[in-house]
Structure 1
């Protein structure tokens, strides 16, 4: 089994959903981590927890959080397989839900803030190197 190095970043994040045709709001770009993804079904935004508005404060807005993010140390070639499943399988077995994002260079595993210590322990028990971010 492959083992990986991850860093648990200190910032709290929010995962937000807006209607697919919504404009990207200014608050989406606030905070240390931002991800904006539009599909035909929705506009999903991950941003700083403090930047996100209150749940339901605008039509169709849903906000969930706080979340914490584990940064997987990459980069990885696109043909490398099983990276995410190697990390998420032990978390699933331990009852830790995840929200996964991928970028060109790496993957990001988000867990609910209250489950972050448990997730870090589970990942360590699975043989991964989990570090605290500054």
Structure 2
């Protein structure tokens, strides 16, 4: 399967919210995402919830791009194609995947560049 088949005409939503990526030692009940690995917990919170968390490090100012399409598990290289295209435009990413949905977080100041690059790949980006 070719990732470009899914990128061409694929819907991408842009969050209204900004997010912060936080390194902490505990979960947060309002987290958009929680990742536990070894002795580290990372939570992704909407920007206004950051004041409520005890965190070792906080990286604020991210916007979420959600790929609103069904991607089969056997599809190889989808996120690699997205990440490469954004890297070529000098856009840093923080990637989250759930069972059925992929999200790419980009810094708010990089959002216009990221949207333009995704549109060049054939995505239909809606905010």
TM-score by length of 1: 0.82
- Aligned partner of 2:35 in structure 1 is 37
Give the number of the structure whose residues are more often strand, by fraction.
Answer: 2
The verdict on how the C-alpha distance between 1:76 and 1:114 changes in structure 2, with shifts beyond 3 A counting, is same
The verdict on how the C-alpha distance between 1:25 and 1:6 changes in structure 2, with shifts beyond 3 A counting, is closer
Matches within 5 A, 1:1-134: 1-2=4-5, 3=7, 4-18=10-24, 22-26=25-29, 29=30, 34-53=32-51, 58=54, 61-132=56-127
State the shift of 1:73 in Å. Answer: 1.1
State the shift of 1:82 in Å. Answer: 1.4
Residues 3-59 of structure 1: CA deviation (Å, up to 9, x unaligned): 2321111111110001xxx23244xx16xxx101111041000011110138xx84x
Give the root-mean-square deviation of aligned CA atoms: 1.8
Structure 2 runs not aligned, ≥5 long: none
TM-score by length of 2: 0.86
Structure 1 runs not aligned, ≥5 long: none
State the shift of 1:76 in Å. Answer: 1.8
